[in-house]
């Protein structure tokens, strides 16, 4: 039978099935029952109709894919998003020792896999939808588990960032913006688009072989292409399993396939995976310009931690003045933010400070002390160059939310919070330019969350230069910085292997930390040279790593 004849046949088959189920339940119905039922009748009929459709689903599921109707009109039978992904898996999992080793590790660490899947719940529906829209294997939704454990703030010693661990060069190649305000490698929308664009490109480049495309995503297309040329020259097979590739890549592809095997049938390995709702977790709300993230949190009533988790691409206290002009919020809060933004005057989306220029000031120093950029100051003040005059005034956008700064009541409440005994020794730290909650916490050997709580803040709140923070420690002596574990917020611990020609200065510049910090984190003797192969621990603020 020709393919063009199949869908009418299916339509007849579906009608026949519906007729059978209907006739079986209502044998007295005749052809005269053609009057449209009342709304009440439709409501009461919903359950029997759905039950009859489940019969259709079971029968149609056994048909070849090319015989299925384009729009069956049936409800999605996958309430669990993980099961929906498994139904779309396309990669072949072979019986290989390399895959078995990776699978055994996941089976021995079920709590890790469960934790990562729960963490993915914010982003997984969006990624699954993008893969389906492009006709790509749903197996690739598991790739961020291998890359970043679904941590949007993940950062590697090779300067790869985000869920998809994109390096700066690849991100730029696929149109991902990176600047002082914003790093699209961490943004869920921009990074997913770029990562899938890159995977599609690699899939085409390597003749439709997804294993080779995934290997190239990890090690670079040049490495895979050279390995293929070597095998062609030697008369060897050119599939992934026969190529000589970097050690990391030889484990990378088997790790993805091991995950595919487990998620496809977790019960076969004695595992029970968490369920993820098969519905959108977030909604994208247009903003039409720069807006303070603290104000967005206030308008929606969600915490800063949750807001940053959905908008991890923003490096600062506000969205990028040059875009993207949007906010990602939980789907339950999308309409609320839309209405609030529509009623908000444009000049109320930021807090403005009128600053009198003092002798010795420059645009750079003023911008740094107010956590903005010279470009923004020039733009909002309509300055053509960098020359400013002492005595003149500048309008400066600043964070709208500075807890405890608005009313006497708030001041009193903050004082009570700060003075409540939390330890045996109380220290006051005055915030300086470049300080962060995480950096201050590490300096005093306390956690970021505790430091924020002691000062009436959330861990993601912006610090104002000159603000006094209270620090409670167990003794008057400052504890060593390495006592803080694990790393919290937007900071990550990485292990860096010293290379030939490296110096403390070069490593500090690479990761935007100080030489003193590297020495302290690694208890280095200042008189000793670094040796190639030496391992260093570096604590990186990922929001400072953008171009």
CA distance 494 to 500: 19
Tokens of 450: 């505790």
| H helical segments located in 398-457 | 408-419, 437-444, 448-454
CA distance 168 to 357: 37
3-state secondary structure of 473: strand
User: Of 147, 211, 375, 488, which one is the catalytic site residue?
Assistant: 147
Q: How many CB atoms lie within 10 A of CB 489?
A: 21
CA distance 10 to 16: 10
| H helical segments located in 159-187 | 168-173
CA distance 57 to 68: 11
CA distance 69 to 430: 67
Tokens of 534: 């030496």
Q: Which is nearest to 310 in space by CA: 331, 341, 325, 290?
A: 331
CA distance 353 to 144: 42
Q: How many CB atoms lie within 10 A of CB 197?
A: 15
Q: Report the residue count for the chain.
A: 547
Tokens of 543: 């929001």
CA distance 525 to 36: 87
CA distance 70 to 59: 16
Query: Would you call 71 a catalytic residue per the annotation?
Result: no
CA distance 211 to 213: 5
Beta bridge partners of residue 182, listed in sequence order: 314
* Contacts of the segment 4-7: beta carbons below 8 A, 24+ positions apart: 6/66, 6/67, 7/67, 7/69, 7/70
Distances (CA, A) of 43 to 18, 128, 150, 299, 302: 18, 32, 42, 37, 36
3-state secondary structure of 537: strand
CA distance 328 to 241: 41
Q: Which is nearest to 327 in space by CA: 351, 279, 295?
A: 295
8 A C-beta contact, residue 512 and residue 544: yes
8 A C-beta contact, residue 375 and residue 333: no
**Which helix H or strand E contains 394, and what residues bound it?**
strand 393-398
Q: Known catalytic residues?
A: 147
């Amino acid at each position: 039978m020709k393919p063009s004849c199949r869908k009418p046949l299916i339509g007849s088959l579906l009608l026949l099935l519906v007729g059978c189920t209907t006739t079986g339940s209502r044998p007295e119905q005749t052809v005269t029952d053609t009057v449209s039922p009342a709304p009440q009748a439709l409501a009461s009929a919903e359950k029997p109709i759905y039950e009859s459709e489940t019969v259709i689903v079971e029968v149609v599921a056994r048909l070849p894919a090319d015989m299925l109707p384009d729009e069956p009109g049936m409800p999605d039978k996958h309430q669990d998003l993980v099961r929906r992904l498994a139904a779309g898996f396309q990669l072949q999992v072979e019986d290989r020792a390399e895959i078995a080793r990776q699978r055994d590790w996941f089976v021995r660490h079920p709590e890790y896999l469960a934790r990562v899947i729960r963490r993915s719940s914010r982003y997984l529906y969006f990624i699954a939808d993008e893969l389906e829209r492009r006709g790509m294997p749903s197996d690739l939704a598991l790739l961020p588990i291998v890359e970043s454990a679904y941590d949007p703030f993940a950062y590697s010693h090779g300067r790869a960032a985000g869920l998809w661990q994109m390096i700066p060069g690849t991100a730029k190649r696929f149109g991902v913006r990176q600047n002082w305000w914003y790093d699209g490698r961490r943004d869920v929308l921009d990074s997913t688009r770029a990562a899938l664009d890159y995977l599609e490109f690699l899939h085409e480049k390597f003749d439709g072989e997804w294993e080779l495309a995934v290997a190239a995503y990890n090690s670079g297309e040049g490495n895979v292409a050279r390995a293929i040329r070597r095998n062609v020259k030697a008369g060897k097979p050119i599939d992934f399993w026969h190529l000589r590739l970097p050690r990391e890549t030889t484990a990378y592809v088997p790790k993805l396939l091991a995950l595919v095997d487990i998620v496809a049938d977790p019960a076969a390995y004695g595992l029970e995976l968490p369920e993820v709702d098969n519905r959108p977790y977030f909604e994208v709300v247009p903003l039409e310009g720069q807006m303070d993230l603290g104000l967005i949190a206030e308008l929606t009533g969600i915490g800063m931690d949750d807001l940053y988790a959905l908008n991890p691409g923003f490096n600062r206290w506000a969205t990028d003045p040059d875009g993207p002009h949007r906010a990602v919020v939980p789907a339950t809060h999308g309409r609320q933010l839309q209405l609030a933004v529509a009623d908000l005057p444009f000049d109320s989306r930021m807090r403005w400070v009128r600053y009198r220029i003092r002798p010795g000031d420059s645009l750079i120093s003023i911008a740094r002390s107010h956590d903005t950029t010279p470009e923004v100051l020039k733009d909002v003040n309509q300055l053509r160059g960098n020359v400013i005059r002492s005595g003149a005034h500048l309008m400066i956008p600043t964070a709208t939310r500075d807890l405890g700064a608005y009313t006497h009541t708030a001041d009193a409440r903050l004082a009570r919070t700060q003075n409540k005994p939390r330890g045996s020794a109380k220290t006051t730290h005055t915030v300086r330019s470049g300080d962060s909650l995480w950096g201050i916490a590490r300096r005093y050997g306390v956690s970021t969350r505790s430091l924020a709580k002691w000062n009436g803040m959330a861990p993601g709140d912006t610090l104002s230069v000159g603000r006094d923070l209270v620090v409670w420690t167990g003794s008057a002596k400052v504890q060593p910085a390495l006592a803080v574990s694990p790393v919290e917020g937007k900071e990550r611990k990485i292990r860096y292997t010293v290379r030939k020609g490296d110096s403390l200065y070069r490593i500090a510049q690479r990761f935007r930390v100080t030489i003193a910090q590297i020495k302290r984190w690694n208890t280095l003797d200042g008189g000793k040279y670094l040796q190639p192969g030496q391992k260093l621990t570096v604590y990186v603020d990922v929001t400072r790593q953008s171009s």
